[in-house]
Structure 1
Amino acid sequence: MMRHMGKHKARNKGTIYWKNLGLVLLITCIPIAFIGVIIYYVGTDRIETEVNKAHQNQLNSSVQQMNDYLTNLEHSVVRLAFDRNMDETLTHLDFVQEFQTTNEIMKSLSLITGSNSLISSVCLYLPHANKIIGDDGFQSVRTEEDRNLLNSLLDKERTIYWNYSLRKINMPDSANKAIVIKLPGGQVYGTYGIAIIYLDQNKLDSMVQKLVSGEGVSFLFNENGDYLTTLPRRDEGQGQRLEDALKSRILVDEANENMFKFDWHDKNYNVTYGRINKLGGKWTFVSATPISQIVAPVTSLSKLIVWISMLGLTLGLLLSWFASNKIYDPVYRLKSLFENTWAHKSTEKDEITYIEHQWKLQLQVQEDLSSQIKQSIPVLRESFLLQFLQGNLYSHTESELIQKLRQLDWDAEHKKFAMMVAQLHGISKLEGKFSEHDAQLITFAASNIVTELCSEKFNMFHVINFQDLSLGVFLVLDETGSHSELESTLNKLAHDYIAAVNNVLRLKVTIVTSKISDSIEQMPIIMEQTRKALRFRDLHTSNQMLDMNQLTLKNTGQHHYPSEREREIVHAVSMGLEDEAVRLIRQFMLELQSSYNAELMVHQGMMKLLGAIHDAMIKQDVNLLDMYGGVHLYEQLMQLTEPEQIVDWFQYNLIRPFVKTLSIAYDANLKEMIDELLVKMEKDILLDVSLEMYADQLQISPSKLSKAFKQFNGINFIDAVVRLRIEKCKELLVTTDMKINEIADQLHYQPSYLIRMFKKNEGITPRQYREKHT
């Protein structure tokens, strides 16, 4: 909503607003932009200078560290060459017998190995003893090839020199960088052995690679141009390496500069190199780092400066916009409010006229809404009262209920409250004027009648349609009248309603008026009690009016429950005698009515009868759940109030399904007998058969056989015989040349009767049938 308002306001501003906004923008944003440009250019150059300086210092420090390692290696070589323990006595040394001396030599070699991380191992070769002593033990030179390799090292003129591809003994595929030292040191001739210091290639590679990071490269090569560090593998077709190009440039560099820029594959590199002379070898180290990587921190800081400047500029714009709106806002506040309310842009130049017009429209809308609310209040009030009287608002207090009704246009404070409940009777005695399915329609008509009567006497009332030929009326009574006057008013209303229903709907009415209460909070309970009081009506009286203040059960004499009649009913139901059971139930109902006046007592007697019949059904091993489809029989009976309705319910809803199920269970064996009889009738169709003949064969009475035959086959015995003989006639007509008289004689029929029956069943005569099928 606010975003929409902002857009709408900006769209309707005049030239004054835009001039003010431009001025504030200039005042706010120009200093911020000027400061940002100065910081960017001055700060960026300064930061780039400092980053390059720091990078160069880091490289120099790394080179110095490598130089220190090589210097330490040089010291280890000199110490080994002039070690006093390494004299000519070693040529006569028995390494096994003089183990103490051998161990001392091995310790010295181990100390040299541990003194520098570049040293992989140190060994001593004595040609006279044909032995090699290392920091891990001693062994003999076994192959002639190894012996020739070691002796060739003694032939060199220099006493200390480098060998860049020396393989170790018993490792023919190895190629190691090593320092060869003739013993004793300082002598070219007369040497008795050599000491070999092997370098650790991985340590050397790792030390050189520390000079750069990221996409940079670093490597070592000697005076012959041989690489001393391992280069990454190159794929075929990739062209010249960056290392090869840098090495070629450095070898021909006459100016002997140790730093230069180098372009390679669209990248600019900052190259630094230096030379180290150690142990008679000249090594050149090279480090190349992309300039973009060096200045990456500068770029990030530059972007940060730009973003901070943009943020400051944006903040300035927002503050300018906010200040301009604050300056200009009072002029258009009301106009913008109306424009956003009606969602259209104003075309009126005079803001006051526009606001006046919109204000009148708002007043009109308010009046329309008030009218709609007043029309909706009755519906809302009825919904609230329905929920309240059904007990769904039990958590509300007295004051909350009064306040809620006041909101729904009812002033129920300092009032009295009462209920009136009416039950209609006699719908089954109207001889077809109304059916049982018209109960809702009749209840609706009765509700309209009581509404008209109440509207003449009361200002606040609510009619509840229970949809089952009963209704209730919630009445708000004026407290100014006395208690007796209010009761008289209720009795007058009840008499008028009984008369109206008798005249208009031709039905009888029982009315119960409740006690008058001072508390609306108790009305749900009072309504429930009043509805239950309908059960105390006198079945011998047509129209009744019961007052809850004076309600007592009249004692009509000694009460008698017809137990003997109950046993007769249970016996009849158990025997499957439906008509007899219904006749006895009617007598049972009359005896209850003669003994009890109140409907409640009669209804309880019928509930007891239902329980007795229910027990009898269970003893017959009948599945009541399947028979009644899971219906709650007691609940159905509780909904009935008229005696005739109750008797009909016992017959059609209770007894008849049971009798039908019982008869099927009894006739299970008889069904098998009837099926066998049908097969026998087909075989005996040409004989003169009769029902009595088969009854005698089956040893049952002809009437029982006839009844069972029709029950299981749907037709009587004579019709079944006629059908079988017609089928036999059709067979003889097609398969033989017999005349119709002959066929009739075999079927024990007169020809004319056979022709008439054939045409009745088939629609054509026997002769037409023969012509059609032959």
Structure 2
Amino acid sequence: MSRPKGKHKGSIYWKNLSIVLLITCIPIALISVILYYIGTDRIGMEVNKAHQNQLSQSIQHMEDYLSNLEHTVVRLAFDRSMDESLKQMDFIMEFQKTNELMRSFTLMRESNSLIGGVSLYLRDANKLIGDEFGFQSVQSEDDRKLLRSLLEKERTIYWNYSLRKPGYSDTLYKAIVVKLPGGQMYDSYGAFILYLDQAKLNTMVQKLASGEGVAFLINENGDYLTTPHTNELSKEELTLEDAVRSRIAQEDLRDHTFKFDWQGQSYTVSYGEISKLGGKWTFVSATPMSQIIAPVTSLSRLILWISLFGLTVGLLLSWFASNKIYDPIYRLKSLFESSKPTRSDEKDEVTYIENQWNQQLVEQQTLAMQIKESIPTLRESFLLQFLQGNLYTHTESELIDKMKQLDWDAEDKRFAVMVAQLHGISELGGKFSERDSQLITFAASNIILELCSEKLNMVHVINFQDLSVGVFFVLNRSITNEEIKAVLNKLAHDYIAAVNNVLRMKVTIVTSKISDSLVDMPNVLEQTRKALRFRDLHTSNQMLDMNQFMIEPNSAKHFPSELEREIVHAVSLGLEEEAVRLIRLFIQELQGDNSTELMVHQGMMKLLGTLHDTIIKHDVNMYALYEGVHLYEQLMLLSEPDQIVDWFQYKLIHPFIKTLSMTYDGNLREVIDKLLVQIKEEILMDVSLEMYADQLQMSSSKLSKAFRQIHGTNFIDTIIRLRIEKCKELLCKTDMKINEIAELLHYQPSYLIRMFKKSEGLTPRQYREKHAQG
């Protein structure tokens, strides 16, 4: 938002303008004076230093070219392919190798711009190969002497600053001679000759001279390596080069930079040495001092003009800056006004902004209070997810940080859980129905939350919706284990008393172990809930402590197998009421002394498995009969005996008996019942399934299936059971020997003894002695 024109400017604006004028103009004036009197010399020194740095970089650039040339020469001298086989090489017949050799010369020349040409001289073959003229024989005697003289030098690699090319007599070249083979000073069979490109060398050196200055290159003998620059308009440049060269050669100059006066003008001379390939070159550059300090002189004048201009601009900027400083104040005021239905006429913008800011702080505090009030709900949701194990990917530190965000400090704390299970809803005499279990659980969770809030600060109550509640405690590490146990035990006693008095129900409470790790608490809660299965069914209210909890090695419990068989038989006969009566007796047998809920559940699971097998034997589709329900899972959710009996009656037995009665008509059942009576009367005869099937005029398979589905056992097992009963009767009422009884029952004596012991757990002799004593 820009400030509208014509806006009234108060005292704040004029104060700001005065301050900005002082801040802007006075420093500019001081800086201008300092720059003019002090900065000029400093700038001159920096310009000269920059000039020297530029020369140094240029010399280094040229030295890099020479280093590249040196590396090329050394590789060439010791190249294994350049052996003495070149002496016998036929350059015409071995055209391919010749072509590759000439191509390598071309690549060598192109790799370094200082190389103007490459030639290979072979003494015995009297051949000269070059990248410019191909290969040829040396015709002239002068050329042969010249080339052979190159091989007579003692050094393997050396410079020749005035070498004539064979076939040319008018031009001398600077060249590098590399004798072959490399590393031998005598008896060389040939040599490489690398000619320098004089024009390229001149150009490279002259680039280092600026303006009216000169630059040249001399060797260790003081001879020019670059062509002296001549100009018809200024002949003194050549004289200047000679004078500088003489000064460097005659005097022992230690510094690489010195001043040199020549014809009324001062020059700054810089020189440096480059040692490559056995040669010692000196690079010299002479630049007029007037040319170097020219920028400083012009800069000094420019500083004065800039200072005056800066002062003027400072005044304008002061006015502009004052407006800009005032703009934020106006924009902030307008921002507050835009959120209000009416504009304020407050003249003092600062006072207005202050009032509005205080109002915003009040609104912010109100919002912070609302957020703080919502934190408990967010914390409840987080803890529910965490304790259910849904945040298993989080680390300890991540969980602690998250709880800190939710206003709980769980760092360096200890943790514990308590689980309570309510029992006896069926004993309330109809006061509560099964549908009221969630309401009862809600009331129980409120009771324990109220009791915990009186003694502990960080407590979370979990409503499991199944007559059980859990409590998660965050405890201070300074409290000892004994003190924590005392607090939790007192809390458990108070909760049991409150539930007994208010809800008229029994309670089992399990207290977990005290843990130092927050991330382990979901597992601790799960283990604590599992411990509820070990409650004593004969005790109304119980307290279990996981710190002292252990499964006692009770003596082996008697499993009511006989009742189990009777229940199966009643179910198979379709006697629902009888089966339910027997199931109640079965539970009472399981609830013997020192029995726990887990033991009762295990026994009922065994009974469910037996009934499950019986139903399958009757060829009943379990999935269709029970609509895909997981029977074992439903049974595990029940804890009250009455609930378990009702579940067996209405969820398991009744649907099966209803289906069974629909499958078989009454006539077939009557026939099978009469057959069973006949079998009991004829048990001492040699009876068989086929015999009775023929008598009833039906197939043996149909009779076997009907017998099993109606009575729950197959024909053979029934015959064996009846004969065992007959054997028991004969053992107790007669003095017949075992062999005689076996013959009467149509069994082998050994088979009868084995079957009898399997059924009764005793041999026939032991059974007779036991009942004789009775």
TM, length-normalised to structure 2: 0.44
Larger Rg: 1
